């Protein structure tokens, strides 16, 4: 499968490595793809780099892994038409940095970045996922309590099944919480993860739902 990853940061790179490791061809996107030359050399042969537009066109599945405040612009550059009918994983969080304190959510309660991504790419099949854990645990996390759970939401059941398969290939259980409005809570859940990390000084934790 061809996977297009919008985002050249640590999250985009972790996705690129994980999708390549599971046998997919990956294009990782940036406004300046030449900055990814060293990464592409390291991640060859399955990973190439391109502009946001080239990356969105390339992907049969698209991942949005851009800075919260840059996400609208990234989708605009990528071309919303290039997302049509494509399963689109939204891993972003609307974090607002506050000097000297923990980050805050810039949107919440009555809206979310996940819902905005769905509006900015209206024909995409958006699934919010991978935003509630640090990127170093995306792929095959080895934790003493066993595989953690990826909490996901999105409007289309078939798209969520596709993303659930990806999560399970990456070593995760999956908890579906419903439509894309659930992103309001998954983005808040990211803050829970971040605040615990700041307090504990460690970043190797992940959520798991226990049930009978």
Ligand X SMILES: NC(=O)c1ccc[n+]([C@@H]2O[C@H](COP(=O)([O-])OP(=O)(O)OC[C@H]3O[C@@H](n4cnc5c(N)ncnc54)[C@H](OP(=O)(O)O)[C@@H]3O)[C@@H](O)[C@H]2O)c1
Write out the residues near ligand X by the rule CB under 6 A. Answer: 7-12, 30-32, 65-68, 70, 73-74, 91-93, 95, 130-131, 134-135
Least separation in angstroms between residue 33's CB and ligand X is: 8
Least separation in angstroms between residue 82's CB and ligand X is: 15
**β-bridge mates for residue 128, sequence order:** 90, 153
What would the two tokens of residue 36 be? 């990814």
**CA neighbours within 13 Å on the CB side: how many for 150?**
31
Least separation in angstroms between residue 188's CB and ligand X is: 13
CB-nearer residue toward ligand X: 85 or 104: 104
Coil, strand or helix at 97:
coil
CB-nearer residue toward ligand X: 48 or 93: 93
CB-nearer residue toward ligand X: 23 or 199: 199
Coil, strand or helix at 72:
helix
CB-nearer residue toward ligand X: 71 or 164: 71
d(CA 100, CA 46): 41
CB-nearer residue toward ligand X: 10 or 211: 10
Least separation in angstroms between residue 70's CB and ligand X is: 2
Q: Give the number of other Cβ atoms within 10 Å of residue 32's Cβ.
A: 9
CA dihedral 25, 53, 133, 179 (to 10 degrees): -110
d(CA 31, CA 15): 18
Least separation in angstroms between residue 52's CB and ligand X is: 7
């Amino acid at each position: 499968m061809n996977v297009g990853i919008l985002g050249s940061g640590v999250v985009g790179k972790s996705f690129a490595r994980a999708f390549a490791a599971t046998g997919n061809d990956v294009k990782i996107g940036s406004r300046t793809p030449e900055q990814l030359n060293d990464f592409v050399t390291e991640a060859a042969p399955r990973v190439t780099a391109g502009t946001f537009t080239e990356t969105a066109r390339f992907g049969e599945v698209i991942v949005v892994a851009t800075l919260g405040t840059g996400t609208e612009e990234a989708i605009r550059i990528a071309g919303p038409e290039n997302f049509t009918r494509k399963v689109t994983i939204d891993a972003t969080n609307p974090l607002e940095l506050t000097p000297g304190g923990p980050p805050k959510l810039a949107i919440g309660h009555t809206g979310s970045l996940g819902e905005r991504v769905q509006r900015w790419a209206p024909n995409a099949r958006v699934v919010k996922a991978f935003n509630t854990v640090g990127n170093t645990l995306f792929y095959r996390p080895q934790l003493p309590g066993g595989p953690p759970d990826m909490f996901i939401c999105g409007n289309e059941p078939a798209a969520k099944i596709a993303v659930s398969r990806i999560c399970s290939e990456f070593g995760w259980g999956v908890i579906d919480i419903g439509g894309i409005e659930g992103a309001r809570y998954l983005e808040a859940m990211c803050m829970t993860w971040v605040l615990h990390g700041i307090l504990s000084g460690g970043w190797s934790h992940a959520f798991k739902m226990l049930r009978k």
